[in-house]
A = this chain, B = another copy of it.
Amino acid sequence: MKTKNMEISIYRYLKELRSAVPLVQNITNYVVMNNTANALLAVGASPVMVHAKEELNDVVPLASAVVINIGTLSPYWIEGMLQAAELAREHKKPWVLDPVGAGISGLRNQALKRLLHLNPTVIRGNASEILALDNFGRAGGKGVDSTESSDAALNAARELNRRYGSIVCVSGEIDYIVSGDRIARVANGDPLMQKVTGLGCTSSALIGAFIGLGQNAFEEAVSGVAVTSLAGQLAAGKSDGPGTLQLHLYDCLYNLDQETLDTHLKLETDVIAS
């Protein structure tokens, strides 16, 4: 049964985020660290970027949420990621897993299997990454499905949700957010966003900012996805290319208001008959 648009008031979550200024602890990749910190600041959160296992014990308890993005791995960083996820569980902090490049290497797949068993609150990836994650859990894994259709990814998202309890976000032309019998679809964004590195990583970080509010993780995850895709679309509309898009994205996040959300957001939520 389809429920009507705007059931989730994204603006209410955005306003609360700007008021609460959640501290978001990120272990992310070298390529996007600066962008991630700037996107978090622009939306109204406060970023911290500690990766060393030697100091995560002190920092995770201070944070409202934890984001783990495996973009540029090495064994030392993997130790930090696992420790951060364990600390998040122990201190009941919501955490986001961004499985960048899932399926491309054994090191990456092994790290992801261990992180999945720590039950991320949210997993966000593209169709290919979500399919690769789902595949880890199957006996006789058959490799990453090369079709990577939206339908296949959506089934994989549901299966990951059943297996690990995680809310699963699949980024694409339409973004899907899946949890139990609920599904949300965000039809914003712009193809030019794929020409800027790390906008998926930005989406994961902003999901982290919203779930740091701790009210309703599903609606907060939808808010993070919606705000990123809409700001990216608005930024693309003002841009001559990917350089200007990246720049305007921060300004659009910073200036996002209720009127803009009401006018431009294309969000649908459904309850799926199981």
In the complex, which of the residues A30, A37, A244 has the most CB atoms of chain B within 10 Å of its own CB atom?
A: A30
Contact of A251 among B47, B74, B242 (CB under 8 A): B242
Q: Please name all residues of chain B whose beta carbon is closer than 8 Å to the beta carbon of A34 when the two chains form the complex.
A: 31-32, 34-35, 197-198
Our pick among B29, B51, B54, B105 for the contact of A55 (Cβ within 8 Å) is: B105
Q: Report the interface size class on chain A.
A: 35 or more
| Interface membership of A261, Cβ < 8 A | no
Q: Which residues of B contact A247 (CB under 8 A)?
A: 243-244, 246-247
Contact B104 A62 (CB under 8 A): yes
B-side contacts of A38, CB under 8 Å: 196-197, 242-243, 246
Which of B47, B58, B101, B194 contacts A106, CB < 8 Å? B58
A49 at interface by CB-CB < 8 Å: yes
Partner of A51 from the list B42, B54, B74, B104 (CB cut-off 8 Å) is: B74
A59 contacts B by Cβ under 8 Å? yes
The answer to whether the Cβ of A143 comes within 8 Å of any Cβ in the partner chain is: no
Min CB distance, A64 to chain B, in Å? 15
Cross-chain pairs A/B with CB under 8 angstroms, 19 sampled: A29-B49, A31-B34, A33-B72, A34-B197, A34-B198, A38-B196, A38-B197, A41-B194, A41-B196, A41-B197, A42-B242, A42-B243, A54-B73, A55-B106, A62-B104, A195-B254, A243-B246, A243-B247, A243-B254
Since A33-B72, A54-B107, A241-B254 are in contact, a sample of 7 more A-B pairs with Cβ atoms closer than 8 Å, ordered by chain A residue number, is: A29-B49, A31-B33, A41-B197, A42-B195, A55-B104, A59-B104, A243-B246
